[in-house]
Amino acid sequence: MKNVANILFMAVMLAACGSSADEQPVATAGDTTGTAVPVSYQPVIEGSYLGIVPCADCDGIETRITLFADTSYQLVNNYLGKNPKDTAGLNVAKTGRYMMHNDTVHLAGSASKFLRTDTALIQLDASGQLFAGKLADKYILKKVK
């Protein structure tokens, strides 16, 4: 009987040691798949991201996206090398909500999608894929402090 009690005690102790509070799953914003992500791996996405993306008829589009903890965002585009009269209405700050699906940030009210990394947002093309070719590295918005 003493051996059975010792075995039960050891089993309970091993089971208690097997889980950690740091690894409890939590749902992410916009997560509709039911897949949980451990707390220790939750991305810190809030902050401002800045970059100059290619433009067909200007010197580039300075793009700043600020993502807030309440899942709202602000998007500001500044068309470089263009007459301000030609960009009237384009250089206006847009606001809305964003959603996360895996590592993709979707800006509601906009066709824009971005792949999240630890230090940047990478703009995706209309089909949700990374841009390819010699300008691919121009679609990176780096996190600013």
Whether 142 and 120 have beta carbons less than 8 Å apart is answered as yes
Beta strand pairing call for 72-80 and 60-67: antiparallel
Listed by start position, the domains of the chain span 2-41, 47-144
pLDDT digits (tens, 9 = 90+) for 84-94: 777 777 777 89
pLDDT score for 61: 92
Q: How far is CA 24 from CA 27, 80, 91, 106, in A?
A: 10, 47, 43, 26
Residue 3's pLDDT is 52
Residue 13: is its pLDDT beyond 60?
no
pLDDT at 33: 52
Q: Per-residue pLDDT averaged across 113-126, rounded?
A: 94
For 43-63, what is each residue's pLDDT tens digit? 568 999 999 999 988 899 999
Q: What does each C-alpha distance from 71 to 34, 43, 46 come to in angstroms?
A: 19, 13, 9
Neighbour tally for 69: CB within 10 Å: 10
| 124 compared with 89, residue with greater pLDDT | 124
pLDDT > 90 in the chain, percent: 50
CATH of 47-144, one of 3.90.550.10, 2.40.128.640, 3.20.20.70, 3.40.50.700: 2.40.128.640
Identify whether the C-beta of residue 63 lies closer than 8 Å to the C-beta of residue 73: no
Beta strands 120-123; 104-107: pairing state: unpaired
Whether 70 shows a pLDDT value over 60: the answer reads yes
User: Which residues sit opposite 60 in a β-bridge?
Assistant: 80
Alpha-carbon distances, residue 43 vs 83, 100, 119 (angstroms): 39, 10, 11
Q: At residue 18, does pLDDT exceed 50?
A: no
